[in-house]
Structure formats: structure tokens, C-alpha cells
Structure 1
Amino acid sequence: MYNNSRNIINEHEELLSLKNGNEHAFEIIYNRYSLSIYRRLIQMVKIENVAEELTQDVFVKIWEKRHLIDPDQLFFSYLNKIAANLVVDFYRKVSRDERLKKSIADISTKMEEPLDFKIIHEEDISIIQKAIKNLPTQQQNVYELCKIEGHTYEEASRLLGISTATINNHIVRATKSLKNYLNKNYHLVLIIFFISGVR
């Protein structure tokens, strides 16, 4: 990530240019973040061509909604939120389209770790958010940084001043607590974004 002050200033200027419709600034931002977003999406959907398409969709939305960009906010977190919303939309589409569901299921059966299809609705998202709020404060902080905002364990370690091993322990415990809470309180399954990627 871009931690020194010079890079932060440069990105701020690039985001302002992008917001004003500068295509070169958009290209710089795309080249900087597209691989990280793709890696995040491949964790979430597990299928390469789907992750590639969703990555492109993320940056199409960035361009289309560039007037909404806030250069003073952490841009990578903004990208991750867009990516997460697109994954939600993808699973909703799968749930409504039997042909697509079968096609993805066929791909899934050939994978070492088959994809577990999940359906999520707006009310489910609020339930998930409530479950996260019930976590102990430090677990909640770590989970939101790593699983919601997409920070690496190393970045979360620097931000919170704790070791990466402690970060890992918090993620494992938080994920277990979330699963137990949701299984106990709701007939709900989560999309892979919320339950995958535990190290």
C-alpha cells in the first residue's frame, strides 16, 4: 500500500483528476489497484473468469460514479465495498437463473474446494452487520479491517499496533463466533465473502 506522505499526496491529486473525468488518472488508479481487487474477488467467488469480469465491473462503476469519489477517504476500502456489492449482486443473479446456477455448479464440482452457493438479501446484510457488532471490540476492529475493508494482516497489524499472529487469532475467533451466532439465531447462510479466507 501507499504509506508515505508523497504517495498519499500524489494519490489525492490523482483521485481529484479522476473525479473531474481525467482518463489518464483513471488508468493510473486501475493499474495500481486492479490486481489487488482481482485477488480479493477470486477469494470471494473462487472462479477465475467470474472474478475477472467482476474486476472490470468494479472499475466501470468507478468511472461511471467518479463524481462520488471522496479523495479524502481511503480509496482501497471504497473499491472493496464496490467489489463486495457486486458479489452480492452476482449471487442474487445466480439464485434467480437456474441455467447459470447449473453452469457455475458444474465448474464448482471440478474445483479442489467446491463453491458453496449462498443467497443473500438486504435484510441478511443488516443481520450480518448486527452479528459483527456483537463481537468483542478488538475482534470487530480486526474483522472489519481485514474482511470488510480488505486490508492485509500486515496492514491491520500496523494500524492496530498488534502482531500479525494476534490478527490471525482474532480473525479465526471472530469467524467462528459469527458462524455460531448466525446458525443459532437465524436460518441464514452467508456468501463466501464473509466466511472464506481465514488463514
Structure 2
Amino acid sequence: MITNKPLNDTALLFDLKNGSVKAFDEIYGRYKRPITINLFALLKDRDLVEETLQELFCRLWEKRGNIDPQQSVQAYLYRIAGNLVNDHFRNIAKNRRLAARFWEVIQAQTQSQPEADIQKAMDEALFRTIEQLPPQCQRVFKLCKIEGKSYEEVSTILGISVSAVKDNIIRANRFLHAHYSYEAVTAVFLVTSYVLKDLN
């Protein structure tokens, strides 16, 4: 009875180098499980392990022409796996450094940004917020707080009672207190956002 003996590493890699799909499937079948276990011990994430495993065997096939058939299949695969894991952790470290650098630059840029630019951004944010007020409330607020008119003067100009003027100011103040901070922070961030180019 004739039995097919499993090919040794040299024969497998030689056939793979010559484009044998059968040799590739044999290597995949032999080493997928142990490599998966090893990757999971390092990465602790099933989806990431699956992606890494897929990338590993894609590289094996794509670079088959450069393979040295005299080397160990296992050592070759584990070297690719190790490089992929190292790349993953380097990218994590790079992203963390980038995030830290981003906030450092934003903070420094905000501090060094000309005060006129910051003030302009905050003033524009304030006026955008005021424009969200109801028409009458907006008119009262602008006359009192921006033009500096008294409640009595505003009452005469708009033909409403002083009490109505006060009520509108209270409503406006409550609205601005609730909405202006977000507008202002967003405005200052947009003023300084161009510094992102410094991170490239």
C-alpha cells in the first residue's frame, strides 16, 4: 500500500516558491492553529488575530518568489507574525504620541495665539449665540447690553414696559449662559485648528 508522506519544509517551500497552491494550503493547514494561539496570547483580540493571520498568509503568498527553501517554514512564518505584531504595537504607540502631541500643540497654540484673534473668535461666537434669541429678546439684549441703553430708554424705543425689558434680559441671560460656552470653545478651537498641519 502506497501512502503519501507529508512533504518536509524544504520541499514545501520549494513548491511554494514555484507557485504551488497545494503547498500553500499544506502550510496553512499545518501552521494556522499554533500561530493563531501565539497571536492571541500577544494581541488578546480575536478580530485582530484574524486580520493579522490573514495578512501573514497573504504576505507568504505574495512574497513566495523570494523565499529561501532551505529555511524552516515555522521560523519564517513566526518571523512574519512577529513583524506584524511589532507593527501593530508601534502604530498604537505612534497614535498615542500623536494624540499627546496634538493636545500639547493645541494648548501651546492657544496660549501663543494673538489675543486679538482669540477675542475676535469669542465675540463672533457671542453674536452667533445672540442671533439665536427670539427677535424681541434679541432686540432688547442688543440695546441694553451692546448699545448701553437703560431699561427706560429701551422701553420707550420698543414701546414695551420696563418690566418686559427686564424679563427679556433675564431670558437672554439664561439662554446665553446655557449656550455661549460651547460656541466660544468651538470658535477658539477652530481658530487654532490649523496647527494640525504641524503634526504631519
The bucket for the TM-score relative to the shorter chain is 0.3 to 0.5
Which structure dedicates a bigger proportion of its chain to helix?
2
Q: Which has the larger radius of gyration?
A: 2
TM-score of the two chains, using structure 1 as the length reference: 0.43
TM-score of the two chains, using structure 2 as the length reference: 0.43
